[in-house]
């Protein structure tokens, strides 16, 4: 296949040698307008094959050293990815990320499994061209009934049968509702699965406040771990409705789980003003920055939110807090938490720190892929803070 060639120049040879999967637009030479699709990159003695995108900060996503991926290439990538995830089904999970973009060598595209169905999302018109072949490989390799692409207009069938409006999947043996067309991400927040399991081991006997709860997964895990009571708070009424249903599916009634539709920040602030405290407060807010220029604003928001949360934690209680903002590094997040503790008049002891679940691998040469930070800390209030 004859491909358009972009010569990055010898000075950029290190870019291709590094193995980093992205070429930013400001690294490209002047060139005639190109359509989204495969290109060949050269830089000194190095070359690579990637997908060009006409818009966006990332101009080319690199896939191969010397060939345009075909079905055999895709099947090999999928097989390697599944080898990493086989233990998940043995542990009672039929919902997990099958292909994690750059982490599995397919930049700009993810594929998630929900029981007998799979959902593909892609980020760019060029990468979208891979979706049909990936759907074919998924259907050929896994016992699926259908594969769909999640797009702005809804779900598009790529292989097999369309999924139902919602279905029940299992995560570490626990049942959860998933809406593949309208739910967050592709239906559920699969990247927090192992962090939820860790949290359950610390929850026994505690009163739990679960903020930015979505459909209540953290609260359900806490209750399974022996928490006395849990409150889930989210601004979306539909999410809280499903949190109630998830609680019921896992055997918990209103005596153990309560769902509240409210702005999580406002609710937390009101609890602090009332002097209400909990033994375990969980914070899992959405991303607070989409660009590097918003990083400072995001850090300020994390400091303010976590300071309030620490004031709402009972003496010696626990804070489980997350950041999914890629522009905020793990070091930045820890520093924000330390400042939040000082602001709250407390000392926070770091007990556990983690990132994504294992089905969201991050190449060491791609630090941008480490977006999720999860911290579990004990909060000790000074006497002055009361």
Catalytic residues: 324
**Roughly how many angstroms between the first and final C-alpha of the chain, as a whole number?**
71
CA distances from 334 to 35, 63, 128, 364 (A): 42, 34, 37, 20
CB atoms within 10 A of CB 17: 13
Question: DSSP label at 312?
Answer: T
Among residues 236, 260, 135, the alpha carbon closest in space to that of 179 is found at 236
Among residues 286, 89, 63, the alpha carbon closest in space to that of 170 is found at 89
CA dihedral defined by 41, 43, 45, 47, rounded to 10 degrees? -20
Sign of the dihedral through C-alpha 83, 87, 88, 90: positive
Question: DSSP label at 334?
Answer: H
CA distances from 310 to 264, 265, 281, 288 (A): 14, 13, 8, 19
- Alpha-carbon distance of 342 to 338, in angstroms, equals 6
Residues 6+ apart with CB under 8 A from 331: none
Dig out the tokens for 41 from the structure: 């990159």
3-class secondary structure, 203: coil
Q: Which residue has the tokens 């860790």?
A: 198
- Alpha-carbon distance of 318 to 138, in angstroms, equals 41
Backbone angles phi, psi at 295, to 5 degrees: -60, -45
Residues 6+ apart with CB under 8 A from 278: 206, 207, 208, 209, 231, 312, 313, 314, 317
Among residues 278, 279, 257, the alpha carbon closest in space to that of 267 is found at 278
């Amino acid at each position: 296949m004859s491909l358009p060639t972009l010569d990055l120049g010898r000075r950029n040879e290190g870019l291709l040698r590094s193995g980093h999967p992205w070429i930013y637009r400001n690294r490209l030479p002047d060139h005639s307008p190109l359509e989204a699709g495969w290109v060949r990159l050269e830089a000194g003695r190095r070359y690579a094959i990637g997908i060009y995108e006409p818009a966006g900060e990332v101009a080319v996503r690199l896939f191969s050293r010397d060939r345009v991926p075909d079905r055999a290439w895709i099947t090999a990538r999928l097989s390697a990815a599944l080898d990493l995830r086989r233990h998940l089904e043995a542990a009672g999970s039929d919902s997990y990320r099958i292909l994690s973009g750059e982490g599995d060598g397919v930049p700009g595209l993810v594929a998630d499994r929900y029981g007998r169905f799979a959902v593909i999302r892609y980020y760019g018109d060029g990468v979208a061209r891979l979706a049909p072949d990936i759907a074919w490989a998924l259907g050929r390799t896994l016992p699926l009934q259908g594969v769909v692409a999640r797009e702005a207009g809804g779900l598009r069938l790529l292989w097999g049968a369309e999924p139902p409006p919602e279905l029940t999947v299992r995560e570490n043996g626990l049942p959860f509702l998933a809406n593949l067309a309208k739910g967050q991400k592709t239906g559920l927040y699969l990247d927090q699965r192992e962090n939820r399991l860790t949290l359950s081991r610390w929850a026994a006997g505690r009163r739990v406040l679960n903020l930015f709860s979505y459909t209540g997964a953290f609260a359900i895990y806490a209750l399974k771990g022996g928490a006395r009571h849990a409150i889930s708070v989210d601004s979306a009424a539909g999410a809280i409705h499903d949190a109630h249903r998830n609680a019921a599916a896992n055997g918990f009634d209103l005596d153990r789980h309560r769902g509240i539709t409210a702005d999580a920040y406002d609710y937390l602030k009101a609890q602090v003003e009332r002097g209400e405290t909990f033994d375990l407060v969980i914070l899992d807010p959405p991303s607070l920055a989409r660009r590097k220029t918003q990083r400072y604003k995001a850090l300020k928001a994390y400091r303010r939110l976590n300071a309030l949360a620490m004031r709402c934690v009972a003496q010696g209680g626990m804070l489980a807090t997350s950041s999914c903002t890629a522009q905020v590094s793990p070091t930045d997040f820890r520093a924000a938490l330390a400042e939040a503790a000082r602001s709250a008049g407390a000392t926070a002891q770091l007990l556990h720190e983690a990132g994504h679940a294992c089905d969201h691998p991050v190449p060491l040469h791609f630090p941008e892929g480490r977006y999720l930070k999860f911290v579990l800390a004990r909060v000790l209030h000074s006497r002055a803070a009361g």
